[in-house]
Chains A and B, each alone.
Chain A
Amino acid sequence: MPGAHQLGYWRRVVRLAALCHDIGHLPFSHAAEHELLPEGWNHERLSFALINSDEMRAIFLNSVPPINPDHVAKIAIGQKKLSEFAPDVSFSVWETLLSEIIVGDAFGVDRIDYLLRDAYHAGVVYGRFDHHRLLQTLRILPLSDQEGDSIEPWLGIESGGLEAAEAMSLARYFMYKQVYFHRVRRAYDIHLKDFLKDWLAGKFPTDIQEHLKLTDNEVMAALLSAARDASQKGHIHARRFVDRQHFKMLYERTPSDQKVNRAATDLLFDELVREFGADCIRRDSYTPRAASLGFPVLRADNRIESSINLSETLQKIPSATFDLILCDRTILTRATSFLKANREKIITPVKEVAS
């Protein structure tokens, strides 16, 4: 851990890293990232390229005292993502702790920020929690899963902040269920992605200067233009967007169907595509990727224990997940009838008959 005189330097690094963390996002953030960037690219890699651009490096290096751009890049992006495109970059224990402040699953400021901001802009209260209390109780504590024989330092909290941590985890769960996974929002992501595929006629550029030229505004202008002119690329998708003729939800994975057949949604999707054509049917799903909600907690008696043991709430928060089939609204009635008549037959496993 650095001496007191160095803490000021690292405080500035963390602030710059927080500001630069999502600097490489594409227009409309995540919507088209996975399909419309070349293989091996994501917004973190674009952030890394921007932080290391001549323009940004000059800003960091000319500040007083100079800031090492490599430090900003590491803290801003974190080990998980950086290892995907810069596997030789190593982190000290100190750098790991600082990057957890930005990108960590439990208390990352990125997560704190997007939940509060998205809730505010979406006009919902699900995303709110006492982040001030959370920050006040944040501590560096030994991390251990078992018998306390490793004292590796990690980000944890004092027990007084446990309720704030629970509230944040619940906020995240509700925001996912009610906002990020809302079927209409997912439908518009699909239409935006379809439009961008046609409009870009390829992938998003990864050259920094070209990347910076494309913002939400350029995409919105192109979308409106394409919606008005049938000869333009992506016209049909732009029309769905502008006229609010989005695809409707036809089927959502249910525990009862999963009980009959774990592949129920796959089978139904394949059958619907066969019956109505791929242009009219879309599938959208999400499997949780966040790490567990375990972190060290400093109890009032100075013992350190896992948050999972101390909080029944954290133990019981389910993983937010979804699996939807959507369809063009013009076939909704027919498709609904088709599902009603055939769902059970499609998902029921065929029993093998002994010969």
Chain B
Amino acid sequence: MSALNQTSIVLYVMKALKANGSWCGETHVQKTLFLCQELLGVPSHFKFILYKHGPYSFQLSEHLQGLIADEFVYVRSRPPYGPSLELSDDAAVFARPVAVDGHLSRRLDFIAGKVGRKGVGELERLATAVYVNEKHGVHLSLEQRAGLLTSIKPHVAADAARAAFLEVDSLQRESQKVAA
């Protein structure tokens, strides 16, 4: 995938997150794109590893820095919480190729709609749950998967981990319909 197509997807996701009431900090963009790639096969091709707040892509982080340097995106301070990423007027032009691709935009809109209102902690748990499912398989019991999540992220409580897997299982079922 070309950098331009990746840019279109990233900018479209940010736009969709904002339309769904998201705070739209870097973590929100990171986790949303991870879910889009893993659950709906969105071809943004960012490589994710376990890092800050769960699955994290250094490639995506660098891509966002490039967009900030090119003035497509800017950082807005929003005390007392972390900063939000805002889109410039030019950004809409570069998001257009995705907007006119109904199959792609439907998938991105679906995930943005599901996670737009979620905070960092919830996104961290959801994305890490998807990572555990991908890596260890969904055939494990809920307790086993929750145990794996809390071993990866010891600051996550067991009941919150279990709730995350239940939500991911439901999200996965819905995603299959959207991807079809």
Contacts and interface: CB of A to CB of B under 8 A. Distances in A.
Given A145-B25, A146-B25, A289-B62, A294 B81 contact: no
A149 B75 contact: no
B177 interface: no
B119 interface: yes
A65 interface: no
Given A143-B53, A291-B61, A150 B121 contact: yes
Given A287-B66, A288-B66, A291-B61, A149 B121 contact: yes
B50 A149 contact: no
A142 B156 CA distance: 12
A93 interface: yes
Interface bracket on A:
35 or more
Interface stretch (A214-222, A305-313, A341-349): A305-313
B153 A306 contact: no
B25 to A, nearest CB: 4
Contacts of A308: 75, 77, 82-83
A319 B65 contact: yes
A291 B154 CA distance: 25
A315 B77 contact: yes
Interface string B57-94: 01001101110111000010111111100000000000
- Residue of B68, B70, B83 with most partner-chain A CB within 10 A: B83
7 tightest A-B contacts by CB?
A: A149-B121, A145-B82, A319-B69, A150-B121, A145-B25, A309-B79, A306-B82
21 contacts: A80-B58, A93-B154, A96-B51, A144-B120, A145-B25, A145-B27, A145-B53, A146-B82, A147-B121, A150-B121, A150-B155, A152-B124, A287-B66, A289-B65, A289-B66, A292-B26, A306-B81, A306-B82, A306-B83, A309-B77, A319-B69
Interface of A: 79-80, 83, 87, 90-91, 93, 96, 142-154, 262, 287-292, 294, 303, 305-306, 308-309, 315, 318-319, 321
Interface of B: 23, 25-28, 47, 49-53, 58, 61-62, 64-66, 68-70, 75, 77-83, 119-122, 124, 153-155
